[in-house]
Amino acid sequence: MSKNSYHVIAKVDGGWNVKRAGAERATRSFATKKDAIQYGRGISKSHAAELVIHGRDGRLTSKESYGRDPNPGKDPNLSKSI
């Protein structure tokens, strides 16, 4: 896990946690995955971090990056001749 990332993970007893990479305890707990993702997006944006979303089985379902991308894609508009 990258130190500059937050993860949405399922709790054993139901519900969802948002947890910073490398932390032992959850940053915050939620009853629904939707609420956990919403909070995770906000905190990831404010810390220029990546949000990693896991399914109930623990597998990765998606990633959202809000930090500085070291390998940005090419902008198709920049390659056009003027």
1-37 pLDDT, tens per residue? 456 899 999 999 999 999 999 999 999 999 999 999 9
Domain boundaries, the chain: 5-65
Lookup result for tokens 């944006």: 45
Angle among Cα 70, 7, 59 to the nearest 5 degrees reads 100
**Looking at the predicted structure, is the pLDDT value of residue 42 above 70?**
yes
Rounded Cα distance, 61 and 64, in Å? 11
For residues 48-52, average pLDDT: 95
**Looking at the predicted structure, is the pLDDT value of residue 68 above 90?**
no
Q: What tokens appear for 26 in the block?
A: 């959850």
- Which residue(s) pair with 18 in the sheet? 8, 28
pTM of this structure: 0.78
**Looking at the predicted structure, is the pLDDT value of residue 82 above 50?**
no
Phi-psi region of 57 (alpha: psi -120 to 50; beta: other; left: phi over 0): alpha
E strands, 1-82, in order: 5-10, 16-20, 28-30, 50-54, 60-65
